[in-house]
Chains A and B, each alone.
Chain A
Amino acid sequence: MNYMPPISLHDRLQAVFADALQIAAAQVTDDLAYRGIPEWNSVAHMALIAAIEDQFDIMIETDDVIDMSSFAKAKTIVENYVAP
């Protein structure tokens, strides 16, 4: 049996952000802010939400769509949905 180290939520979410916003993973840091870069605008935000929902198999509520104002905030929000 090969041991696969679990991929952290941080890494998974970072990959989703980089892919959805089409930016380098290195750009996805905790202080990356909504409307802080041209790529993360209101249109991209909804695509990002859909990508996160697909990746984590969750349904994000409206309030959390609005509260997701930074990558750090996104981690906290997604944690709440995936917590057992």
Chain B
Amino acid sequence: MTAPAALPEIDPFAVDPFGQPATAKDEMLCRHLNRLTQHHRQNCAGYRAILDAVGQGAAPASTLDAVPYLPASLFKVAPLQSVPDAEVAQVLTSSGTSGQAVSRIALDRPTAADLSRALVAVVKPFIGPKRLPMIIVDAREAAGTGGAASARAAAVRGFSTFGRDHLHLLGPNMAPDWDALDTFLARHHGETKLVFGFTFVVWQHLYQAAQAAGRRIDLGPAILIHGGGWKRLADLAVSNAEFRGRLTETFGLTAIHNYYGMIEQVGAIFMECEAGRLHTPVFSDILIRDPTTLRPATPGEQGLIQVMSLLPRSYPGHCLLTEDLGSVTGTDDCPCGRPGRTFRIDGRLPAAELRGCSDTRPLSRLDS
């Protein structure tokens, strides 16, 4: 039985998601993460067994770095959930192919609703309250038809909320439909458009495809939001700066925002601001750990990214250690004016198991 008293009593959606300085936020976040730890300990036997096995007592953590964390990859081998099967409304999976383990995330209706609200709260400050004519740089098939969803489908569906008159730019064979794009652009001439896609897909199937077709297309005014597949881009040695430069130049984009997120903590994404930093909203945060000692890193030092979120209630994913490398870029000092902690992604732990947050096909398979 889910004990309502164990859940966060605040409404994180009633406040400005980027209105809290880190100092005020840390204490609040720690308190509510403790409540979630307690909630999952009571409602998920597997989670309780793990905490017991590592000697993690029931005493609440006094600082964020003392909140017990699970490896994000654990959801590939242990489908932990804190609600009965009958209450699971949706199952999200990372999109691995055969031979690779797939994370399985169980959402009940309240958690799924919170994730949608969180996504809106985080993204709205960057694109405004109105839904924009939207170009989805993916195939219609990528969103699926409902029910279980891969990470890519979940992202496309989630971001579709911000759009109207959605154009799925790519056909089933991932080739752009330039004629459909021309018609769409004529219909929405002068309007601000939203362009969304996975980083790698945008690069390969929009930018490179336009280059190959000798097309220079003015999408503008338009805002590009991309994420999910940056690791694959890093493997091609395309930097974030080059990505931004080439895309802006080729398509006349007015703004480009990367985001960092993963299926294990869907909803609580981190948006890249105008100054190029990833921002932590009021209901989620990160900290950096030394890859060897797992101790908290000193500010600015590179290490493993730990993600924390108040949203996961139907599964114990509120505090997870990823295999991604990053560093804190500042606290309450971003030139964009938003308070809170900011960070950057530096890559992936070398020799780690290949685990994209969404696009997890092995490279050899992709390139062949």
- A59 to B117 alpha-carbon distance, docked (Å): 19
**Pair A43/B143 contact, Cβ less than 8 Å:** yes
Chain A residue at minimal CB-CB distance from B118 = A66
Cβ contacts under 8 Å, A60 to chain B:
131
Most buried by A among B89, B129, B164: B164
Does A15 touch B at the CB level, under 8 Å?
Answer: no
**Pair A59/B89 contact, Cβ less than 8 Å:** no
Q: Which residues of chain A (32-77) have a CB below 8 Å from chain B? A: 35, 38, 41-44, 46, 49-50, 53, 59-63, 65-66, 69
**Pair A59/B164 contact, Cβ less than 8 Å:** yes
Most buried by B among A35, A38, A44, A61: A35
**Pair A69/B113 contact, Cβ less than 8 Å:** yes
- A62 to B109 alpha-carbon distance, docked (Å): 19
Which residue from A35, A44, A49, A61 sits with its C-beta under 8 Å from B109? A35
Does B368 touch A at the CB level, under 8 Å?
Answer: no
B121-143: CB near A (< 8 Å → 1, else 0) gives 00010000111000000000001
Cβ contacts under 8 Å, B124 to chain A:
62-63
For the complex formed, measure the closest distance between the CB of B81 and the CB atoms of chain A, giving whole angstroms: 17
Does B57 touch A at the CB level, under 8 Å?
Answer: no
**Pair A63/B146 contact, Cβ less than 8 Å:** no
**Pair A61/B144 contact, Cβ less than 8 Å:** no
Stretch at the interface among B155-163, B179-187, B202-210, B358-366: B155-163
**Pair B116/A41 contact, Cβ less than 8 Å:** no
Count CB-based A-B contacts (< 8 Å). Answer: 49
Does B172 touch A at the CB level, under 8 Å?
Answer: no
Cβ contacts under 8 Å, A41 to chain B:
145-147
Which residue from A35, A43, A59, A62 sits with its C-beta under 8 Å from B157? A43
Chain A residue at minimal CB-CB distance from B149 = A42
Which residue from B129, B144, B146, B164 sits with its C-beta under 8 Å from A38? B146
Which residue from A35, A42, A44, A66 sits with its C-beta under 8 Å from B117? A66
**Pair A59/B131 contact, Cβ less than 8 Å:** yes
For the complex formed, measure the closest distance between the CB of B187 and the CB atoms of chain A, giving whole angstroms: 14
Does B120 touch A at the CB level, under 8 Å?
Answer: yes
In the complex, how many residues of chain A place their beta carbon closer than 8 angstroms to a beta carbon of chain B?
A: 18
**Pair A44/B131 contact, Cβ less than 8 Å:** no
- A53 to B116 alpha-carbon distance, docked (Å): 21
**Pair A62/B120 contact, Cβ less than 8 Å:** yes
Q: Which residues of chain B (85-130) have a CB below 8 Å from chain A? A: 89-90, 109, 112-113, 116-117, 120, 124, 129-130
**Pair B143/A65 contact, Cβ less than 8 Å:** no
For the complex formed, measure the closest distance between the CB of B120 and the CB atoms of chain A, giving whole angstroms: 5
Does B166 touch A at the CB level, under 8 Å?
Answer: yes
Which residue from A43, A62, A66 sits with its C-beta under 8 Å from B144? A43
Which residue from B112, B120, B130 sits with its C-beta under 8 Å from A35? B112
Cβ contacts under 8 Å, B145 to chain A:
41, 43
B322-340: CB near A (< 8 Å → 1, else 0) gives 0000000000000000000
Cβ contacts under 8 Å, A61 to chain B:
129-131
**Pair A62/B161 contact, Cβ less than 8 Å:** yes
- A55 to B162 alpha-carbon distance, docked (Å): 20
Cβ contacts under 8 Å, A49 to chain B:
164
Cβ contacts under 8 Å, B131 to chain A:
59-62, 65
Which residue from A42, A59, A66, A69 sits with its C-beta under 8 Å from B146? A42
Known contacts A66-B117, A66-B120: A43-B146 contact under CB 8 Å: yes
Known contacts A62-B162, A63-B120, A69-B113: A44-B130 contact under CB 8 Å: no
Binding site for B on A (CB under 8 A): 35, 38, 41-44, 46, 49-50, 53, 59-63, 65-66, 69
Can you list 6 residue pairs at the A/B interface with Cβ under 8 Å? A41-B147, A46-B157, A53-B164, A60-B131, A62-B131, A62-B161
* Among all A-B residue pairs, the 9 with the closest Cβ atoms: A41-B146, A42-B157, A61-B129, A43-B146, A46-B160, A65-B161, A66-B120, A66-B116, A35-B89
